[in-house]
Every structure is written in structure tokens, then in C-alpha cells.
Structure 1
């Protein structure tokens, strides 16, 4: 049990440090945080659009092949 306790403590410290640094970064450079969020959202939207296009293309090709 002491190993698990130390592991949980270490993970808590690492997580707290990460979020404290992220909070300080958002105060120091709000534009940077906005830019990172914008890039993440753009990437996710592009990924979903490409998946949808691929799905539509494959279904159209399979329909054409059946004719």
C-alpha cells in the first residue's frame, strides 16, 4: 500500500504543477493560450471533415460499382 500512496502523491504533484504552469501561462500570455486552443479545434474539425469526406467517397464509389 505505501507504493500506491507514493504513486498517487507523485501523480498529484505532477498534475498540480502542470495546471499551475498552464494557469500562469494563461495569465502571462493570453494570446498564446487562445492560439493553442484555436489550433487544437482546427485540427479536430479538419480530421472530422476528412473522415466524413472519405466515408462519402467510399459509399459513392461502392454505389457506382453496383450499377
Structure 2
């Protein structure tokens, strides 16, 4: 399990994250306060919205959560 803290700054960044997450064959969770969302669920991620710090957790020891958000502009 690997995790990072991140703040999504645009809707496009949220969508790009989910598109990348959907291609992964392991579980990804996005945690905001007490809310735990499936990282592959666009509707779930949109509930969190932009501008809030979240924790992204990849349940795979070789996976890098940074790869899911490395395009951020």
C-alpha cells in the first residue's frame, strides 16, 4: 500500500486522474476527512470536488500514486 496527499485544482485534473485509475488492476481509494471514495468512480471523486486536500491510496506495493497525478498543470 502506498499513499500521497494531493489537492485537485481543476475538474480536468479530476477526470484525468479517474481515467488513469480505471486502467489500474489494483484498488485505489481517495480519502477526504472521513469519506472514503473508490478512486475509479468519477461520480465519487466529483463529490469531493476541487480545492480540498485528499489522501490517495494505492493498494499495490509497486504502484506509484504519483503516476496518477503527474500531469497536473
- Normalised TM-score (structure 1): 0.25
Which protein is bigger by CA-based radius of gyration? 1
Higher fraction of helix: 1
- Normalised TM-score (structure 2): 0.23
